[in-house]
Amino acid sequence: MYFHDKRLQYPVKVDNPDPVYARALQQAIGGIEGEIRVCLQYFFQAWGARGPSKYRDLLLETATEELGHIEMLATAVAMNLEGAPISEKEEVAKDPIDGAVLNGMNFRHILSTGLAALPVNADGVPFDTSHVYASGNLAADMFANVTAESTGRTLAVRLYNMTDDPGMKDMWKFLIARDTMHQQQWLAAIEDMGGIEKMMPIPNSFDQAEENQDVNYTFMGTSRDGSEPVQGRWSSGKSMDGRAEFKSEAMEPKGEEPKLSPPKPGGGAQKEQMSMVQQGVEIAKNALS
């Protein structure tokens, strides 16, 4: 269960409120690279964790931290909206980039929240929880977490670069640093379980002898002209898991053209899709019904 402290994890200050930047900040709240996502993702991974309890504990610690990051960003949005125009006639501070503030705002900051944050992204699209990756496989989840923190830190850097506000820059210095650590810690968790080599292929509990041995370490190309696919670390040398040698080849069809049966009578197709026999059956059925 959970507890709160009314104070923020780190100070949030806005020197020059900027309602257009508030729209940009929404990406870090409700975007797929944002904080609601990592918060719920780590919680659901923790709540469903089967196996050694330390990974569950690890996930709970950081999930709980992330909840505080949503709070910081929601506060930052509300502070950037202080004094924002709410009508077309209102006298507005000049937009630093020579356009109209109102045009560049998310109107729902005016219409739906009265100048506060929304759980949506920078385009106003609500977050949906299909982005909560919690697969029941700890290694897959740790890679999902590294990914989330990598796209998350990329987003944070972009938002840091977008603004000149000293308060906002200071907040981002903190959050970028936390993303650095979170990238590290999920990679460390993989090492804690034995390291990338031992973890792969994921899931490592499936007997690799059952998979098709012709294609499991072959890089395949799809160039129309059948030329050799692009070469790199992936096309020759030892595989990353150390279990095989990479090779590469141009792909060719091994299957046949698929043949489906004609539609089932009574199934709502057109007569022209049916075989002659089927059409007869259909006519007879109709005559009898």
CB 216 within 8 A of CB 246: no
What is the distance between the alpha carbons of residues 135 and 203, in angstroms, rounded to a whole number?
Answer: 11
What is the distance between the alpha carbons of residues 11 and 62, in angstroms, rounded to a whole number?
Answer: 19
Query: Considering only residues 93, 215, 245, 277, which one is a binding residue for a second copy as defined by CB under 8 A?
Result: 215
What are residue 131's phi and psi, to 5 degrees?
-85, 0
Query: Considering only residues 19, 35, 42, 163, which one is a binding residue for a second copy as defined by CB under 8 A?
Result: 163
**Using rule CB under 8 A, residue 8 touches a second copy:** yes
CB 140 within 8 A of CB 45: no
Query: Considering only residues 15, 93, 157, 166, which one is a binding residue for a second copy as defined by CB under 8 A?
Result: 157
- Geometric angle at alpha carbon 16, from 11 and 22, rounded to 5°: 75
**Using rule CB under 8 A, residue 37 touches a second copy:** no
CB of 32 to a second copy, least distance (A): 6
- If one counts every other C-beta atom within 10 angstroms of the C-beta of residue 6, the result is 4
**Using rule CB under 8 A, residue 266 touches a second copy:** yes
**Using rule CB under 8 A, residue 80 touches a second copy:** no
**Using rule CB under 8 A, residue 138 touches a second copy:** yes
**Using rule CB under 8 A, residue 199 touches a second copy:** yes
Query: Considering only residues 93, 181, 245, 280, which one is a binding residue for a second copy as defined by CB under 8 A?
Result: 181
What is the distance between the alpha carbons of residues 128 and 37, in angstroms, rounded to a whole number?
Answer: 9
Strand partners, 218: 247
The one-letter amino acid at 226: G
Measure Cα distances from 84 to 16, 116, 243, 270 in Å. Answer: 11, 11, 60, 59
The one-letter amino acid at 74: A
**Using rule CB under 8 A, residue 151 touches a second copy:** yes
Query: Considering only residues 203, 245, 277, 280, which one is a binding residue for a second copy as defined by CB under 8 A?
Result: 203
Q: Which tokens go with 18?
A: 């900027």
Q: Which tokens go with 179?
A: 């993303």
Binding mask 219-258 for a second copy (x = CB under 8 A): xxxxxxx---xxxxxx----xxx----x----x-xxxxxx
Query: Considering only residues 15, 93, 161, 166, which one is a binding residue for a second copy as defined by CB under 8 A?
Result: 161
**Using rule CB under 8 A, residue 166 touches a second copy:** no
**Using rule CB under 8 A, residue 12 touches a second copy:** yes
**Using rule CB under 8 A, residue 22 touches a second copy:** no
CB of 244 to a second copy, least distance (A): 9
Binding mask 105-134 for a second copy (x = CB under 8 A): -xxx-xxxxxxxxxxxxxxxxxxxxxxxxx
